[in-house]
Amino acid sequence: MTDWRSIFGHADPYDPQVDGIETAIDAGQDGGYTVIEGACGTGKTMIALTAGIELVRDPDTDYERVFVLTSVKQQLRQFEADLETINENLPDDWNPISGLTLVGKADVCPYNREGAGDIDDGNVYDRCETLRDRTRDLTGEGGETTAAALTASARQQQTGLADSGQSGPTGRFLETAGETAAYPPEMPTYSDGGPVSAETEFCPFYAQFLDDLPDEGSDGDAVEAVPYDFTDAGMITPADLVARSVRHGTCPHSIMGAALAHTEVVIGNYYHAFDPRTTGSFTGALLDDSTFVVCDEAHMLEPRVRDLVSDGVADATLRDAETELSRVIQPIEFEREGRRAQGGSQTADADLVRAELQDSDVTFEELNRTREFIQDLRSELDRRVRAHLDRKHRGWQSNLTDLPDEEIPLRDPAEPAEDELSEWARNAGYGDADWVRAEAVGAVAARILNEAEDEDRTRAAPAVGRVLGDWYRCGHTDYFREIELERTWNDAEPADSWRRAYTARLALHNCVPSDAIGDRLAAFGGGILMSATLEPMDAFTEVTGLQYLAREEDRPVVERRYGLHFPAENRESFAVAAPKFTYDNRGRTGDDNPTRVHYADTIEQVGRLPGNVLVGMPSYAEAEWIAGILEGRLSKPVLLDASSDDETTESLKSEFFAGEGKVLVTSLRGTLTEGVDYSGDRLSAAVVCGVPIVNTSSPRTKAVRRAYDDEFGDGFTYALTIPAVRKARQAIGRVIRSPEDVGVRVLLDERYARESWDSVVPYLPDDDEFQAVSPDMLEYGLDRFRSRLS
């Protein structure tokens, strides 16, 4: 065993870091997990990296890498920074710890980064796959050339461009990440030089990667194509990866895939471990017992994985799948009817279809049957949407602009049973085979179309087939099926069509992802799950499947809690016993009642504190209400956050941080209350209003609650209350981020302050941090804090 202190990136670890590292090492050696709730400043990232690297470098363990998962970009950067700190302070005779951050193709494709080669964010994935296929076809067995010849050709095309004196908007050379490629900014083409030869686009970066691969049948593997030495590379960020790859002329994304299984610390997102399509095509090599996994921001593990293992298909995708199947079927139909396209091209298409069907286990009749099924399914979807709108929004055709988002449940959310769409299909004569065979049919149709068009595009038919197969296979308690209507606008649709106002989607929601989480965690050798907000721990370990690992697989699950260790005199924390901020008490946002008066007055008191103040409300509608009140009462600027794009949110955040003190009002379900760095003088106070429980009238929420009732016994607590309290704690935790930070934290709602039937006190840490006070005593507490600091 190595000495973990040689790995730890600082001279003097905190006491919680010593305990956390040694606990995680001990649990990891036994194939177990350590669950850490650590307040800001605990140093959780350094705990996780140190423990994981110690296990990887220990010759007596089977661990080969640390796999870090985080849902917050700021935390991803923190892991990169901490690994760089570790490497800077390693003993002189140690090799650096290699690190790699995983990102998508759009972030590392040299052409996409510079808007060159007719590639952009909208088409980068399809264009990439098409160019890769063409490059492989040109250089593979029976191909017309070699990978080395292609890269040489691309370089010569660049030389010719430079010699001609021509230049384009992106310059003569493709430049990105501070490096200049040896290729032109235009996508190069290959021609065999014959009198009637077509020019075929190819990717020179991918051609270089293929050229660098070891010969087929040799003992080497793809890692030999990586153009850097792992022993001295250290932390490779996406920008580093692009720069090193472009310098060598090779494909950054392919290099990422080749390097990830051989890197000691891999940093990614939750979908790199839990999304079935990502793990199947990219990160599968990491999902075994040689990996020590770190789940950061683990309070988000359950909702993130629920989204990843749920599925659905849009009405437009059903339409496209039907069209794709028709394009595959028509050549055979036309041939049988004695019809021919001009020049006989249709006969060639029919030959292709027959050949592909012969090589698969899909019949022509199944192609027809699946097309009919999808066509009828889309008609039934249309009928149900129209019936729902007729029932809830009479005369909706003349008022399309005012329609809200809608959920149309396909069963009673509170009573698990077969969904109405499955029942419709059975009554319409569609049986089990029609659902199950749709996936194979979709895959064959996509293969035929891609071969016919010589373009590997993302097709609709496989996605539809996958969802139809899952719709049939998945149970009716853990999964909830519904039609989702999302507000959009499409002028191309008829003026009286719901499709003009809505995008419709058949949705298959995984209500209880604990099996998916637990099964994936069981595949790893061990790990750490950590966050500032995991209490109550027994509920967390239950909903993530960890208790099952402990009970059934006898793998240790060890819990640790580390509170704030910053100076207590720098903060005041209040739980204010104001009337519950529930709909029954507060009414609509325009109402004037005692509850709203209490909240407006109390929030105003907090807003008058010097410096920046964050106000978290249960919804954006409530945020708009209190912002309007505060604008009329406070002299400092009041900024209102709304549900918007990332760029708008970043601009608002920058405005809040700049200049004199302001009040920022947002929803507790938004992005400004988690993962945002408010350290230093960026935030002097935060007030959380109410318990941000999601809309309990939503059919999906009702289904999740019922599923949790069946699985854990108390669906409201497990599925709604505990996640809401974690949201509140995340927001309030923005105030104190370092030993020097000074501030006030206010939880405003009697459920945080008093024991009652719906109290959330049992779900707060038992550390006496928050003083229970009445509303009229809060101002005294705030004044006392001001005077102590003056």
Q: Tell me which H or E stretch contains 445.
A: helix 432-453
Write down the pLDDT at residue 680: 80
Segment among 32-46, 188-202, 347-361, 768-782 with least mean pLDDT: 188-202
Q: Are 662 and 637 in contact (CB under 8 A)?
A: yes
> What is the C-alpha separation between 623 and 638, in angstroms, rounded?
11
Strand order in the sheet with 526-531: 235-236, 99-101, 265-268, 65-69, 291-295, 526-531, 33-38, 557-562
Average pLDDT value over all residues in the chain: 91
Residue 400: both structure tokens together:
């399309």
Write down the pLDDT at residue 348: 46
Angle ∠(32,36,41) on CA atoms, nearest 5: 145
> What is the C-alpha separation between 192 and 194, in angstroms, rounded?
6
Closest by CA position to 668, among listed 735, 600, 725: 725
Q: How many CB atoms neighbour CB 212 within 10 A?
A: 22
Write down the pLDDT at residue 36: 98
Write down the pLDDT at residue 168: 42
Q: In one letter, which amino acid is 701? A: T
DSSP letter (8 states) at residue 9: S
Per-residue pLDDT, averaged over 593-619, amounts to 95
Q: How many CB atoms neighbour CB 648 within 10 A?
A: 12
Q: Is the pLDDT of residue 489 over 80?
A: yes
Write down the pLDDT at residue 320: 97
DSSP letter (8 states) at residue 718: I
Write down the pLDDT at residue 1: 52
List Cβ neighbours of 197 (8 Å cut-off, separation of 6 or more).
Answer: 191
Say which residue the tokens 């996508």 belong to.
187
β-partners of residue 312 are 507
Q: How confident is the model at residue 336 (pLDDT cuts 50, 70, 90)?
A: confident
Supply the Cα-derived Rg of the chain in whole angstroms. 29
Q: How many CB atoms neighbour CB 30 within 10 A?
A: 12
List Cβ neighbours of 548 (8 Å cut-off, separation of 6 or more).
Answer: 514, 518
> What is the C-alpha separation between 95 and 667, in angstroms, rounded?
47
> What is the C-alpha separation between 150 and 206, in angstroms, rounded?
10
List Cβ neighbours of 158 (8 Å cut-off, separation of 6 or more).
Answer: 172, 173, 182, 183, 184
Q: Are 543 and 719 in contact (CB under 8 A)?
A: no
Q: Decide which of 255 and 670 is more confident.
A: 255
Segment among 6-15, 243-252, 379-388, 638-647 with least mean pLDDT: 638-647
Task: Compute, in degrees rounded to 10, the torsion defined by CA atoms 231, 237, 243, 247.
Answer: 20
List Cβ neighbours of 504 (8 Å cut-off, separation of 6 or more).
Answer: 314, 315, 381, 385, 483, 484, 485, 486, 498
Write down the pLDDT at residue 639: 97
Distance (Å) of CA 167 to CA 109, 118, 175, 202, 205: 22, 16, 13, 21, 21
pLDDT one-digit tens code per residue, 499-556: 999 999 999 999 999 999 999 999 999 999 999 999 999 999 999 999 999 998 999 9
Q: How many CB atoms neighbour CB 470 within 10 A?
A: 19
Give the helix ranges, DSSP H, for 140-178. 147-164
Give how far the C-alpha of residue 199 lies from the chain's centroid of Cα atoms, to the nearest Å: 39
Complete DSSP assignment for 182-198: SS-SSPPEE----TT--
Q: Are 765 and 561 in contact (CB under 8 A)?
A: yes
pLDDT one-digit tens code per residue, 265-299: 999 999 999 999 999 999 999 999 999 999 999 99
pTM for this predicted structure: 0.92
- Backbone φ/ψ region at 115: left (φ over 0), alpha (ψ -120 to 50), beta: left
State the helix-helix crossing angle for 432-453 and 345-359, rounded to 10 degrees. Answer: 130
Q: In one letter, which amino acid is 164? A: S
- Exposed, middle or buried, 491 (CB in 10 Å: 0-12/13-18/19+)? exposed
> What is the C-alpha separation between 628 and 708, in angstroms, rounded?
38
Q: How confident is the model at residue 340 (pLDDT cuts 50, 70, 90)?
A: low
pLDDT one-digit tens code per residue, 25-81: 999 999 999 999 999 889 999 999 999 999 999 999 999 999 999 988 778 999 999
DSSP letter (8 states) at residue 491: T
β-partners of residue 33 are 527, 557
β-partners of residue 527 are 33, 293
Residue 655: both structure tokens together:
């405005």
pLDDT one-digit tens code per residue, 111-168: 999 999 899 988 899 899 889 988 998 998 888 899 999 999 998 876 554 444 444 4
List Cβ neighbours of 775 (8 Å cut-off, separation of 6 or more).
Answer: 576, 577, 578, 598, 601, 602
